[in-house]
Amino acid sequence: MFRKVLLSTIAAAAMTTAASAADFVLKFSHVVSENTPKGQAALFFEKRLEELSKGKIDVQVYPNSQLYKDKAVLKAIKLDSVQMACPSFSKFTKTVPQLALFDLPFLFRDMEHVHKVQDGEVGAKLKDLVAAKGFVVLDYWDNAFKQLTSAKKALLMPEDAKGQKFRIMSSKVLEEQFKAVGANPQVMPFSEVYSALQQGVIDGQENTNSNIYTKKFYEVQKYMTLSNHGYLGYLVVMSKKFYNSLPKELQEAVKQAMKEATAKERELAAKLDKEQLGKIEEYAKNTGKLKIYNLDDKQKEAWRKVMSTIYPKFYDNNTIGKDLIEAAQNTK
């Protein structure tokens, strides 16, 4: 027992010494588990930036909303209370409504198309719009494409969603998406979704396989549809005050660490999406408590046809803008 206490004390002392030896402390806040693509990439970034900065920057990662929920973190970034975050796009859309582009259902053909949009002119324009609001914009990170779950009814055709209550992030696009199929969207923090599903406050939700698996949503749902109807990703931002306080060589270290972390994150996202769907399928097979459905081409086209009717509602330049939507669609 004494030995364990002694070792813990030594480890804590070593961490304190390392932090005090650093010239800068970078707190990285996010809301998901460490075994998600975002969580793993954040830890990779921590290790890589500390290496590249030769210990001059001490990166401290806080997962699972330990510091802030996504709704509050952008204000904290502005105040430099936390130096880095990776919120979903919907958290920016009050000030940069064009980022809701990524919420549009069935806009992207596949993940390669998503990356070409993000790494091209459309992605650069969106970064500039966010930077103009006082953030240092680093890069886009993936989660994956979203799936649908429900406790009430299998979701095979759009009309199956009618009357069901679905949790959404705060997003006008996602609100219109579910209204288009006759469902009732309910804005709710990510951290409250499991208990709301468990208690029947909501009937279903949309999320990626990694979020459905790590937050155990599959345990409190009866039906899951592999719809791939929408993309879920994140924008990595940093405190402008913090970034500007770094000497040029450390700013370059941040950029390099982020470039490597983004490549790693995309790789992890694809791998974990597949692996964690496999674990959900295993649970469904072993327990019989969850039924998983793959949409055939006809069913998927029915969903796409109904949900894409919302696009013209966001053609106005004060929302997403027709030019931006068409530029994304035409990206090759």
- Give the pLDDT confidence of 116-136 residue by residue, as tens digits: 999 999 999 999 999 999 999
Q: Is 25 part of any domain?
A: yes
| Closest alpha carbon to 227 in 138, 307, 127, 164 | 307
Q: Are residues 70 and 112 in the same domain?
A: yes
Residues 199 and 95 in one domain: no
Q: Which domain holds residue 53?
A: 19-143+233-273
DSSP 233-279: EEEEEEEHHHHHHS-HHHHHHHHHHHHHHHHHHHHHHHHHHHHHHHH
Q: Residue 216: its pLDDT value, please?
A: 96
The answer to the question of residue 43 being in a domain is yes
Count CA within 13 A, CB hemisphere, residue 184: 6
The pLDDT assigned to 20 comes to: 56
Q: Which helix or strand (DSSP H or E) is residue 5 part of?
A: helix 2-21
- Asked whether residue 258 is assigned to any structural domain, the reply reads yes
Same domain, yes or no, for 288 and 186? yes
Pick from 162, 156, 185: which is nearest to 173 by CA?
Answer: 185
Whether 184 is covered by a domain: the verdict is yes
Say if residue 245 is in the same domain as residue 261: yes
The answer to whether residues 187 and 38 belong to one domain is no
Same domain, 290 and 184: yes
Residues 74 and 218 in one domain: no
Are both 107 and 244 inside the same structural domain? yes
**Quick one: angle between helices 248-287 and 37-52, nearest 10?**
150
C-alpha distances in angstroms, 31 versus 37, 67, 177, 215? 12, 9, 24, 11
Q: Which of 273, 289, 305 is the last residue of a domain?
A: 273
Do 97 and 159 lie in one domain? The reply is: no
* Confidence at residue 21, expressed as pLDDT on a 0 to 100 scale: 78
Query: What 3-state DSSP class applies to 212?
Result: helix
Instruction: Quote the number of domains for the chain.
Output: 2
The pLDDT tens digits of the residues spanning 258-301 come to 999 999 999 999 998 999 999 999 999 999 999 999 999 999 99
Is 1 a domain residue? no
Residue 13 in any domain: the answer is: no
Task: Give, in order, the Cα–Cα distances in Å from 25 to each of 28, 66, 76, 85, 86.
Answer: 10, 17, 15, 14, 17
Nearest of 272, 265, 210 to residue 42 by alpha carbon = 265
For the packed helices 297-307 and 172-180, what is the interaxial angle rounded to 10 degrees?
120
**pLDDT at site 93:** 87
Distance CA 226, CA 288 (A): 17
pLDDT at 317: 84
Whether 3 maps to a domain, the answer reads no
d(CA 203, CA 153): 9
We report the CATH number of the domain holding residue 267 as: 3.40.190.170
In this structure, the number of other CB atoms found within 10 A of the CB of residue 47 comes to 13
pLDDT tens across the length of the chain (332 residues): 444 444 444 444 444 444 557 899 999 999 888 888 899 999 999 999 999 999 999 999 999 889 988 778 999 999 999 999 999 898 898 899 999 999 999 999 999 999 999 999 999 999 999 999 999 999 999 999 999 999 999 999 999 999 999 999 888 999 999 999 999 999 998 889 999 999 999 999 999 998 899 899 999 999 999 999 999 999 999 999 999 999 999 999 999 999 999 999 999 999 989 999 999 999 999 999 999 999 999 999 999 999 999 999 999 988 999 999 999 999 99
Q: Specify if 160 maps to a domain.
A: yes
Residue 8, pLDDT score: 43
User: If you ran DSSP here, which 8-state letter would residue 120 be given?
Assistant: S
147 Cβ contact partners less than 8 Å away, ≥ 6 residues apart: 206, 207, 208, 209, 212, 224, 225, 226, 227, 228
- Pair (136, 264) in one structural domain: yes
pTM equals 0.86
